[in-house]
Amino acid sequence: MTYYDQHLHTHHSYDSQADFTDYLDNSTGFVVTTEHFDVANPVTGQTDVPDYWAYSAEIEQLNIQYGNRILKGIEIGYYQPKEAEILAYLADKTYDLKLLSVHHNGEFDYLDDFVADMDFDTTFSRYLDELSVAIDQNGKLQAHVLAHFDYGIRLFDVTPEALDKHESKLIEIFQKMIAADLAFEINAKSTHLYHHLPLYTYALKMVLELGGTLFTLGSDGHKLEHYELAFDELKTWLKAQGVHQLVTFQGGTRHFVTI
């Protein structure tokens, strides 16, 4: 089996217009989408939640046409004050793939323009604290993947040395991620559109040294142009870092794929 994108959005996410068929017609194997679930989203001023029943109905219909190629997923935007709402939504739903993310802190989304003018260390420190709390709840959330560890600093153009100051917190986060069986995501949008590949090289080395074995590759695509963005290049890069297997998720089972 060839590896397939583990982070993808369609019109079931508040910020995407893509259709399943955009991806299906341009690939041959499985397609899994991970739709945004962002409670109390400061970007839109509301809770953005996929309509699970509409999502499931569309997938069911397309799976007849496309030979069961579509899998279900969600990207949980964790926000601690609304944890009860998150858990209530997830309680009666099943997914092949659940990503765990932190996008906002109730006040702002970390991709809001003005974040770029904020102090790097203060911003990263705050974001890592929020990420740490999110991982602590994974016993309840049951996510499979820790998405874009660098989301909080995507707007900062920094070298890996800037992360040194936060090394102990990163180690603690990655240790907890590994203990929670969360895979570490290589986010192609971060590496190639926000130019954070050197930060991923730094973090991946750390995760490997801590004994991490679960890795995913996701484009975080919201449109066809970003589907499996730079995957060939990233697979070569992964092998150079000593990672030869990536993981996918299907019906509660992990599958390892040699790259």
The site for Zn ion (CB under 5 A) is made up of: 75, 101, 220
How many angstroms separate the CA atoms of 158 and 68, rounded? Answer: 43
| Residue with tokens 């019906």, as numbered in its chain | 251
258 contacts: CB under 8 Å, gap ≥ 6: 244, 245
Residue 79 CB, nearest approach to Zn ion (Å)? 13
How many angstroms separate the CA atoms of 236 and 249, rounded? Answer: 22
Shorter beta-carbon distance to Zn ion: residue 92 or 113: 113
Residue 7 CB, nearest approach to Zn ion (Å)? 6
Which amino acid, residue 83?
A: E
How many angstroms separate the CA atoms of 39 and 47, rounded? Answer: 4
How many angstroms separate the CA atoms of 154 and 196, rounded? Answer: 8
Residue 211 CB, nearest approach to Zn ion (Å)? 26
Shorter beta-carbon distance to Zn ion: residue 96 or 220: 220
Residue 31 CB, nearest approach to Zn ion (Å)? 15
Shorter beta-carbon distance to Zn ion: residue 208 or 223: 223
Cβ contact 144:249 at 8 Å:
yes
Q: Is 74 helix (H, G, I), strand (E, B) or coil?
A: strand
Shorter beta-carbon distance to Zn ion: residue 16 or 213: 16
Residue 63 CB, nearest approach to Zn ion (Å)? 22
Shorter beta-carbon distance to Zn ion: residue 10 or 101: 101
